[in-house]
Structure 1
Amino acid sequence: MNSNSPRWARYTRAAVGTPGLNPSEPAVGRFRQWLQRRSAAVRERVVSAEQLDEAVRPRADIRLLPAVGAAWAVAAIATSLPLSQLVAAAAALGLTLAILGMWWTWRHRYGRSRAVLASGPTLALAAACVLAVLVGVALQLHTAATSPIAIAAAQGEDLALTLEVANNPRLVDSGHGPPQVIFDAVVLQATAQQHLLTGRMSIVVFAKPAWSELRQGDRAVTAGKIVPAASGTKAAGLLRPSTDPMEVQAAGSNRVVVTIRTSWAAAVNRVWGVVSPDTAGLLPGMVMGDRNGMDKSLDEAMKTVGLTHLTAVSGANCTLVLATLMVALRTVKAPRLLAVGMSLLGLAGFVLVVGPDPSVMRAAVMGSIGAMAILGGRPKRIGTLLSVAILVLLLADPWLARDYAFILSVLATLGLHLVGQRCVRWLHAFLPVWLAQAVAIPLAAQLFCSPVIVLLQARLTIYTIPANMLVAPVIAIVTTVGTIGMVVAALAPLLASLCAAVSGAGAWWVQAVAGFMSGLPAASLPWPEGFQGMLLMAVFNVVALGSLVALVERQKTKAAIAALLAHVPARWRRSCGFGTIVLAATAVAMWWTAAVVKL
């Protein structure tokens, strides 16, 4: 109350009250008034955002969805079936397609059933993709089974082997015994009982740390027995070499690649080796996926807060590299086709340096989708391009259907495509737009990925979204500036050191966030394992997303609930209230508790 106001005004306010603020009203009433004003402001924001969203929202193109779903499901099943069943399934499907093709042609000629004719191409594409997957898996299994090397390995013979490394060796420290490295390789030839055997056989190698110096494309000679691999894996066998690598032949391009990588690592160590060893170990991982220098405690901290994906070459890295090149070339007035071609060549060079193993190749494909769609002025086609990329990758390698890295990559991209912009709009009702965008990106990806992550790591990391939000502003700087420094490291050490200092500042912030947030209370909570853990996480995410939608879009939520209750019998509607929600939440909580303690 203003003490300088006239006495009659004070008497009036005491008699009739002040609009919007009544001192005699209880605190609960004043809070209710504030909440009503806040809700009105939220509704106003939501209505304006909905009008804009409806004006620009594209119509979803789901014509490729049946083909993607069918190809993925069949690939996941076919990779675990024996060759005879695959041949039978492919023959039956091919015959069915031929019969349906003749039937569809007859219907088309006589103009029957327009609905069937309209859906014919979509179903035909799905069936063709399924047939291609079956044939591809069958051919690869047949080639592996009839290889002389595979036959000798199945007989348990000692072999002298010539290997070609398929991806860079990764250090594995199980905590029991000495550390080992693991990598994929292809057997090019073998000698058994003085007989030379030729052919190709994909294997997984568990070896001593002496093998860690090899790089993708190198060839080496060793000896040992190849044991059969588990069913459903692309590798036909497992090898534990009895010798260190001998007669090593470096791939032609590896000398340049090794020079670039070692020069960049040296520049990073010059700048950060003494100041911050954790930063010196983390920066090569964030730029070129090399995690060998990371401390074990830092690696565990990043796992706890969900930042491990930053140390692997992902679609985000490839998107940033491609987008930077494209924008730079377009800035200097380069023609669009030339800019696209040069950007793709630059991305190919980046992939070659960081290691063109299958995971990096997948990241390059997935990352180039978003970048080329947005930079090409067609962001509405990201869904279609994602479907095409999934089909191409599954047809090229059907075993990707069971690969967790591929599944997580697809789910993250799908989450950003489906609910990314919507999360921004919903969160903008409560937060400034810049903060809503910062939260929405990790939130959308986490909602889709976390049910699968639980299968790999059965724990709930509640600080994943805040940690990713805090490090998001520096990721572009680390990737772009770090990539420039890596490219020039061998030619301009001083410029590389400058780039290492700038990008290392971002890496220092990442490791600081990981170290701080991993030490907070309840940073890692227990979570059920296996299928029920995945199902519980999916339920948790649906409830979280549904709660956000219910808070923001109340009218639509009420209409949806009313439409749902309209299909419920009248005698059951009385029980569909707050009590039912409490009972359901209690049941889920008891289920979670029983699963955690393994009752």
Structure 2
Amino acid sequence: MTVAAEGVPVLDLRLACPAAACWSVTWIGLEHSRSALTVTILVAIGLLVSGVLAGVARGWQPPSRGRWFGMRTWFGTSLVVATAGLAFGTGVALLVRADRVDAHPLRQLDGGSVAVVLSATEDPRVSGANPDLVWVRARVHAADGRTVTPADVLVFASSQSDKWLGLRVGERVRALVTVRVPDGRGLVVAALTARGPPTQISEAPGYLRLAETVRSRFRELCATALGHRKAGLLPGLVVGDTSAGEATVDEQFRRAGLTHLLAVSGANFALIVGMAVLLAGVI
């Protein structure tokens, strides 16, 4: 929402088309075949080239205020170029990522058991549907003693294992798992079912340990100063830490369509504010 010169609020939809294009390309890349994604990229290239040629022909100069039709044409051309460029970049990134996922050697072990080396990329979470199950997003680094291209996986284990629940982000562990290739495309190489507790290989890098210290201290302050539900909710809203959240609260946010507030927005907020603070200190 912007305000015109006359002070009348005007609905600003300039980012709607680029955002819709990125979401649409992502949906095509994750839910449809690779050929459909390739066709989408080619269409984006065609629109991008056409928009650039049209802009060059006009010198990329906006017309005077009095020429309403010319202004509208110039704005439309710029919008097409921006939308097609973002769609092209998103499509290429998805295509490259999909190729890496499909060609990953871990997919050749579907249904088998293998010893893997992995590191958590998020905090372990207890499943809301099954309290006896814990799952964690991780990145695999080696399989069957051989180094592989780092790839994203989902690890499922028993919540009775304190070692899985206590796994820290960035910490490298070795574990015996059963490999299952998920249905559909997606960007996850495999779902791994742990057949025992993990064995630590190395600690998380120093900067991740420092971040975990800050998060732990924040959780303690929330638990001391707030009620039970708020103490689990606030860390998720502020820094994307949902480890102390309740399954019922998470389900309520999911039904309301506000799940992103518990992790995505909180993590992005922490990153943006952190960079702003660092830049302000340097300036």
TM-score with structure 1 setting the length: 0.37
* 1:161 has 2:126 as partner: no
Contact 1:221 1:248 (C-alpha < 8 Å) held by counterparts: yes
Match of 2:235 in 1: 288
Q: Which residue identity does 1:149 align to in structure 2?
A: L
Contact 1:166 1:216 (C-alpha < 8 Å) held by counterparts: yes
Q: Which residue identity does 1:220 align to in structure 2?
A: V
Contact 1:322 1:343 (C-alpha < 8 Å) held by counterparts: no
* 1:213 has 2:162 as partner: no
Q: Which residue identity does 1:73 align to in structure 2?
A: S
* 1:142 has 2:93 as partner: no
Residue deviations 1:249-269 (CA, integer Å, cap 9, x gap): 221234434444445555666
Residue deviations 1:3-33 (CA, integer Å, cap 9, x gap): xxxxxxxxxxxxxxxxxxxxxxxxxxxxxxx
How is 1:587-598 mapped onto 2 (pairs within 5 angstroms)? none
Q: Which residue identity does 2:143 align to in structure 1?
A: A
Check 1:292–1:316 CA distance in 2 against 1; reply closer, same or farther (3 A cut): closer
Secondary structure in 1 aligned to 2:31? coil
Decide which of 207, 210, 218 is 1:256's aligned counterpart: 210
CA distance in 2, matches of 1:246, 1:294: 27
> What RMSD, in angstroms, separates the aligned Cα atoms of the two structures?
4.2
CA distance in 2, matches of 1:238, 1:78: 20
Decide which of 14, 28, 38 is 1:63's aligned counterpart: 14
Decide which of 248, 252, 258 is 1:303's aligned counterpart: 252
Contact 1:282 1:291 (C-alpha < 8 Å) held by counterparts: no
Q: Which has the higher strand share?
A: 2
Check 1:62–1:311 CA distance in 2 against 1; reply closer, same or farther (3 A cut): closer
CA distance in 2, matches of 1:161, 1:317: 28
Secondary structure in 2 aligned to 1:79? helix
How is 1:383-532 mapped onto 2 (pairs within 5 angstroms)? none
Shift of 1:246: 0.8
* 1:129 has 2:86 as partner: yes
Secondary structure in 2 aligned to 1:225? strand
How is 1:108-127 mapped onto 2 (pairs within 5 angstroms)? 114=70, 116-127=73-84
CA distance in 2, matches of 1:166, 1:321: 16
Query: Which 5+ residue runs of structure 2 have no aligned equivalent?
Result: 64-68
Shift of 1:174: 2.2
Shift of 1:153: 3.0
* 1:228 has 2:181 as partner: yes
Check 1:340–1:99 CA distance in 2 against 1; reply closer, same or farther (3 A cut): closer
Q: Which residue identity does 1:303 align to in structure 2?
A: Q
Contact 2:55 2:78 (C-alpha < 8 Å) held by counterparts: no
Contact 1:173 1:179 (C-alpha < 8 Å) held by counterparts: no
Contact 1:148 1:197 (C-alpha < 8 Å) held by counterparts: no
CA distance in 2, matches of 1:71, 1:196: 36
- Rg: which structure is higher? 1
CA distance in 2, matches of 1:126, 1:160: 44
CA distance in 2, matches of 1:261, 1:207: 24
Q: Which residue identity does 1:168 align to in structure 2?
A: D
Matched positions, count: 261
Residue deviations 1:112-145 (CA, integer Å, cap 9, x gap): x845444211112111111112111101001112
Secondary structure in 1 aligned to 2:81? helix
Contact 1:286 1:311 (C-alpha < 8 Å) held by counterparts: no
* 1:75 has 2:26 as partner: yes
Contact 1:172 1:181 (C-alpha < 8 Å) held by counterparts: yes
TM-score with structure 2 setting the length: 0.71
CA distance in 2, matches of 1:259, 1:116: 54
Match of 1:187 in 2: 140
CA distance in 2, matches of 1:199, 1:76: 25
Shift of 1:190: 0.7
Secondary structure in 2 aligned to 1:56? coil
